[in-house]
Structure 1
Amino acid sequence: YLVKLPDRVELIARIRYHSSAYINLLKRQEAEALLRDENARQALYIEQVGKLTSAAVAVEQDSFQHESLNDIVDRGDELGQLARVFTQMVKTVKNRETELKGLNDSFARFFPAEYLKFLRKQSVTEVKLGDYVSKTMAVMFSDIRSFTTLSETMTPKDNFSFVNGYLKRVSPEIRNHYGIIVKFLGDGMMAVFPEGADDAVAAGIAKQKRVQEYNLERVARGDKPIQVGIGIHLGHMMLGMIGDENRIQGDAFSDNVNLTARLEGLTKYYGVSMLISGQILEHLSDPEQYQIRFLDRAIVKGRNEAIAVYQVLDAEGEEIRNLKLQTQANFDQGVKFYRDRAFSEAKVCFERVLDVHSSDKTAKLYLERVEDLLQHGVPESWSEAWAFSEK
């Protein structure tokens, strides 16, 4: 059986037909491949656009990691350029934020946040020369006694190290008790307490506790302990900004401020660590929580009216505090006799105090006064209030 050979013309037609279909198949397959590649490219493009969008959200949430865009920044098209610009922009912004934080931290050391809040300012850039707040506040002055003598034994570098070391220990107690450090005064400081007497007294006691801890360190390494005097008063004052257009600083103005500085100076005279005025005592919410003894009525230099002066025994070391508590009944009775002009009886009381606590300087002062009055008589102009001629 022989297969019939196709006609030549038919054979050519069939070859042409099938070749065209094959070519079309190949073209179709090529087109489909191109379409798949384009779809994949578009899908990747959309995915990477989504990454950029997510990166923008991450920047807002402060969680952006620049490595998340590494596959995009390598692109050679506009999307790659956008990713590179975006990443660089974020780095620049972060660097600026770090710089601004450093500047803000530096500004805060010169102009603390509590000061801004008190002046009702959101930023230090809003503070202007002459801004002030006027209200009744407690004010505190503190000072290291005999610092001049102490500083003469140290080099300038040692002086700065000593003062800064001391201030670093005690200053936090002001802020811990809602106070504002108005200014440092060499080895001392001035602070105000906008909420009043309770914060100021608590801060003063806490400061003296830090001083006592510091003295333990000093004695352990062979240095002499230091003594710090604190005076606290309450009254109306203005706290604000003074200076000129090129330099301003905070300060407080009032006769009450000057009175407090005088009060701090009296700690040396009475030989105590912390004095408060009668105004402070009157404004304490619970004075019974403290161990307080009346010392004197004093007329400080520059004033005509006497103020009541009290010692806060809680600010003293344990040994001195216990001795003064042990002798307080005799001391209080001696003061009462003194004020009633019963000087012989007062003399007996103060002698009893000194028999137990021979270094009670206030008792010694009263004993000197009554002995002088007993010896020379009582002047017609005599007053129980002691007038000070020096600061």
Structure 2
Amino acid sequence: MKPQINVARSKSPEELHTQLQELSQKLEEVEDEKNSYETLVDIITQHSTDLENQIRHKNREMQTYIEQVKKVIDAAIAVKNNSFQPQILSDVAARSDALGELAQVFSHMVQTVKAREQELEKLLQAYGRFVPDEFLQFLGKQSIVDFQLGDHVSKEMAIMFSDMRSFTTMAEQMTPQENFDFINNYLQQISPEIRKHNGFIVKYIGDGVMAVFPDGVDDAIQAGIVKLEQLQKYNQSRKINGDIPLKIGIGIHVGDTMVGIIGDVNRMQADALSDHVNLTARLEGLTKYYGVSLLISGDAVQRLSQPEKYHIRFLDRAIVKGRQEAITVCEVLDVEVEPVRSLKIKTLPIFEEGLQEYSQGNFAKAIVCFEQIVALNPDDKPSQLYLKRIQSLLKNSIPANWNGVWKFTQK
């Protein structure tokens, strides 16, 4: 049997044309679909790029934000360390958001606080002129605001009184303003030496100064010597200006003294209270009587840790008015100007001999000693004083049981 062969029917041109058109249409549809996909991909790619850029921008903003927040934190630490400077937050304060507002408020607050601290510091410095730091430390106080009425410390300490000679006479020739200027200028010359030698001024008494030295007599005597040296320099400048030289007297004693705050709740002041304070004031007053610049008590001499550093001359045993017991009065020769100082040291053995004869009632022998001293040193006021005192004793009746102690009837 022969195989059958299927022969495809040939299509007409019209059918082929129609089929070609359909195929072309499908191709166009496929092409359109492809273009749509490409457009979609482009859109997605663009959006992805934009989103990535936005994320990067936000990251940069966040990084900047974090850095600027850290600046605010650093600024707070700087305030704590007292090293804050306004420019630290200048770029943060320029922001227009909440962080910028925070930086502005923070900077303003810090500057306000610093201004108030500076004002407070000025006030404390001003108060310190009335109540020195040494006084605060002595009473164990951190600040003047810690003071309470009655606060005090009681211990043995050296006490110093100093006073200007003939100030009243000088003041009569000056206006009130000139008086204040003169006293302030004078006190500025001598007061610093007290602080330099571990003392502090308790109070000013007109042209006088009352000071204490908690660490002992050596500080007080050294301060007194330097004060008088400063006065000599000050007098040189006054002499150049045609002004008369100033003279001061200094008295130093030692003993248990109470230093503290007295007054009432509305008006308080520093003061030192004890019988030793009163005695120191009397010693200072006696500098006029003996004609010397610096007197110290026998108790003060005994408390010196290095008495060999000074030239000290025993002057008298005396009972000041209002007291029953005699005190030993001594002169510090180191404050004298030359040649008086050298002459007083040279004649010291003769002076001591004269005092011994005087205390034993051997007035004729005492006169010989003191006249010998005055012949060598006419400026030795205590020797002149003893000559006058002996003449007065010889002229009047010598007290019974004479032992050389002189009793003052006036302050």
Q: Normalising by structure 2, what TM-score?
A: 0.91
1:385 counterpart residue number: 405
Does the 8 A contact of 1:135 with 1:236 survive in 2? yes
Q: 1:179-204 CA deviation, whole Å, 9 max, x = no partner?
A: 12111000001111112211111111
Q: Which residue of the partner structure matches residue 33 of structure 1? A: 53
Counterpart pick for 1:200 among 220, 226, 230: 220
SS across alignment from 1:159: helix
Q: SS where residue 157 of structure 1 aligns? A: helix
Residue 70 (str. 1) matches residue 90 (str. 2) = yes
Matched, 1:165 2:185: yes
Higher mean displacement: 315-324 or 100-109: 315-324
Give, in angstroms, the shift of residue 275 of structure 1: 0.1
> What corresponds to 1:314 in structure 2?
334
Does the Cα contact within 8 Å between 2:360 and 2:403 map onto a contact in 1?
A: no
Matched, 1:103 2:123: yes
* 1:245-284: CA deviation from partner (whole Å, max 9, x where unpaired): 1000011111111111111000000000000000000000
Greater shift in the superposed pair: 131-140 or 94-103: 131-140
Q: Is residue 347–residue 371 contact of structure 1 (8 Å, CA) maintained in 2?
A: no
Q: Which amino acid aligns with 1:82?
A: L
The 2-side partners of 1:11 and 1:350 are apart by: 143
SS of the aligned residue for 2:339 comes to: helix
Distance in 2, matches of 1:8 and 1:196, equals 118
- Distance in 1 between residues matched to 2:352 and 2:403, nearest whole Å: 18
Q: Identify the residue that residue 7 of structure 2 maps to in structure 1.
A: none
Q: 1:11 is matched with which residue?
A: 31
Tell me the alpha carbon deviations over residues 151-192 of structure 1, each in whole angstroms, 9 at most, x when there is no partner. Answer: 111111111111001111111111111112111000001111
Q: Is the 8 A contact 1:238 1:252 kept in 2?
A: yes
In 1, are the aligned partners of 2:161 and 2:251 still within 8 Å (CA)? yes
Cα distance in 2 for residues equivalent to 1:319 and 1:159: 33
> Cα deviations across residues 90-133 of structure 1 (Å, max 9, x unaligned)?
10110011011001101111111111111122221111111111
1:128 corresponds to which of 143, 148, 151: 148
Contact preservation (8 Å) 1:344, 1:374: no
Matched letter for residue 390 of structure 1? Q
Equivalence map 1:276-287=2 (5 Å):
276-287=296-307
Say what the alpha-carbon RMSD is for the aligned residues: 1.5
One-letter amino acid of the structure 2 residue matched with residue 100 of structure 1: L
Contact 2:340–2:379 under 8 Å retained in 1: no
User: Is there any run of 5+ residues in structure 1 with no aligned partner, and where?
Assistant: none
Aligned residue number for residue 202 of structure 2: 182
- Answer with 1 or 2: which has the greater Rg: 2
Secondary structure at 2:141's aligned position in 1? coil
Q: Give the structure 2 partner of residue 51 of structure 1.
A: 71
Kept in 1, the 8 Å contact 2:319–2:407? The answer is yes
Cα separation, 2, equivalents of 1:115 and 1:299: 33
| Residue 148 (1) aligns with residue 171 (2) | no
Deviation at 1:375, TM superposition (A): 4.8
1:327-366 to 2 correspondence within 5 Å?
327-366=347-386
SS at match of 1:7: helix
Under a length normalisation based on structure 1, what TM-score does the superposition of the two structures give? Answer: 0.96
Q: Report the 3-state secondary structure (helix = DSSP H, G, I; strand = E; otherwise coil) of the residue aligned with 1:258.
A: helix
Q: SS of the counterpart of 1:48?
A: helix
Taking only the aligned residue pairs, the percentage that are identical comes to: 51
Q: What is the CA distance between 1:359 and its match in structure 2?
A: 2.4
Where in structure 2 are there 5+ consecutive unaligned residues? 1-22
2: distance between equivalents of 1:297 and 1:64?
66
